């Protein structure tokens, strides 16, 4: 079910993402916190095949993003997203940024342009995945840019939700917001259960095929 928060974000992002994909019913998400994360194979921005299975034994973050969403832009303009990415990588976490925009949508970037976009904003993921079919996004139930998922070293999905509690397009408010992802990763790295395992995502609706 589409949340009120997602619909409000879609309205704010109307120029970049003209409409929320409501035509027909999207596939039911396979991902469920506490259960094995859905397997996938998809190309990255260098057109190499990447699979969740290749990262077995390491925690994995999946960050859905958008080149036109002001919520995602604020995270990067603040420097907070890149800082979290680098902290995660230093601690042995794999960080996968995912673009699930369909080629028919204005938000779509072909791999080379996606790589250039990510570099220009200072992104520092382990890989930038090009999920043009939306298969990975639908499997995880990704709704918005900045919808975040954490998979532990055993392949179990242990967090699904927003990046933080800011729900904002304002850089100063992003910097003041409480992160949900970093504490969840700290729990994972310490071998503890994730204390806050689900939150509601916010941001612009992902530009799946309409």
Mean pLDDT, all residues of the chain: 90
Q: For the residues 79-98, what does the mean pLDDT come to? A: 98
- Of the pLDDT bands very low, low, confident and very high (cuts 50, 70, 90), residue 1 is very low
Which pLDDT score is estimated for 210?
76
Residue 26 pLDDT = 57
Residue 13: which pLDDT band, with cuts at 50, 70 and 90?
A: low
**pTM value surpassing 0.75:** yes
Does domain 55-210 match CATH 3.90.230.10?
Answer: no
Please report the pLDDT score of residue 109 as a whole number: 97
- Is the pLDDT at 36 greater than 50, yes or no? yes
Using alpha carbons only, what angle is made at residue 201 by residues 198 and 206, rounded to the nearest 5 degrees?
135
Share of the chain above pLDDT 70, in %: 87
């Amino acid at each position: 079910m589409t949340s009120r928060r997602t619909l409000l974000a879609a309205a704010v992002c109307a120029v970049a993402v003209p409409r929320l994909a409501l035509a027909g019913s999207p596939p039911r998400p396979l991902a469920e916190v506490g259960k094995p994360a859905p397997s996938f194979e998809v190309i990255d921005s260098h057109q190499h095949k990447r699979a969740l299975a290749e990262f077995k034994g390491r925690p994995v973050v999946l960050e859905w993003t958008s080149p036109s969403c002001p919520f995602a832009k604020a995270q990067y303009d603040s420097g907070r997203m890149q800082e979290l990415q680098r902290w995660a990588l230093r601690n042995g976490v794999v960080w996968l940024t995912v673009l699930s925009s369909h080629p028919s949508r204005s938000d779509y970037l072909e791999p080379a342009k996606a790589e250039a976009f990510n570099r220009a904003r200072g992104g520092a993921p382990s890989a930038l995945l090009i999920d043009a079919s939306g298969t990975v996004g639908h499997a995880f139930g990704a709704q918005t840019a900045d919808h975040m998922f954490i998979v532990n070293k055993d392949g179990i999905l242990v967090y699904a939700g927003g990046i933080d509690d800011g729900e904002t397009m304002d850089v100063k408010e992003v910097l003041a917001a409480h992160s949900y992802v970093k504490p969840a990763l700290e729990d994972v790295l310490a071998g503890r259960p994730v204390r806050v395992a689900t939150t509601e995502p916010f941001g612009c609706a992902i530009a799946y095929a309409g």
